[in-house]
Amino acid sequence: MHPDLERILFDEQTILEKVGQLGAQLSADYYDKNPLFICILKGAALFMADLVKRVTVPMEMDFMAISSYGASTQSSGAVRILNDLGKPIEGRDVIIVEDIVDTGLTLAYLRDTLLRRQAASVRIVALFDKPGGRKVEIAPDYYGFTVPNEFIVGYGLDYAERYRNLPFVGVLKSDIYATGNSDKPEQA
């Protein structure tokens, strides 16, 4: 437990078990496709690292940094690419690796962007799905857990860049962000 958390939702073992299942599923679905896994920094970094270790078929990795939330717990709706992919993705079967789908604005933007670059296919794997937060209709093709419409941190997810290192995921106490400096735009 952590003093800034109201409660724990998923402990480390539960998360790793689920990540293993997602890795097995993706390995089966993409066994002959040499998929390109694109990690959306920074939130998905821990998920990506654990996920690719469970992928048993040929694959490649790349990374993209985007801005969405910043230090706030509310999505601004504005999405910006801070660091782009290393190579063109034309003809590639792409898997976007995200931490969480909340409003859906980030993924809607990313999926369209990658399709415009003529990827052969674009699917989304998100560890967490927060359907109660949706503003645009989009669903991850693969996801680990559904979460309530509350602000969660840990296992890559931050509040104002903190808590990413926690090996578990929990709900942040609301007095932490009520008193914080909340609207400096930073990367997700």
Under the binding rule (CB under 5 A), the answer on residue 188 touching Mg ion is yes
Nearer to Mg ion, 148 or 185 (CB): 185
CB crowding 46-62: b at 16 or more within 10 Å, else e:
bbbebbbebbeeebeee
x/- mask, ligand XMP, residues 86-115, rule CB under 6 A, reads: ------------xxxxxxxxx---------
Minimum CB separation of residue 105 from ligand XMP in Å reads: 4
**Number of residues lying near ligand XMP (CB under 6 A):** 21
Token reading at 51: 């996920």
Query: How many Å apart are CA 106 and CA 164, to the nearest integer?
Result: 19
**Three-state secondary structure call for residue 140:** coil
Minimum CB separation of residue 13 from ligand XMP in Å reads: 21
Query: How many Å apart are CA 146 and CA 127, to the nearest integer?
Result: 9
DSSP string, 5-16: EEEEEE-HHHHH
102 is catalytic: yes
Interface positions with ligand XMP (CB under 6 A): 43, 68-69, 75, 98-106, 130, 151-153, 157-159, 188
- The set of catalytic residues is 102
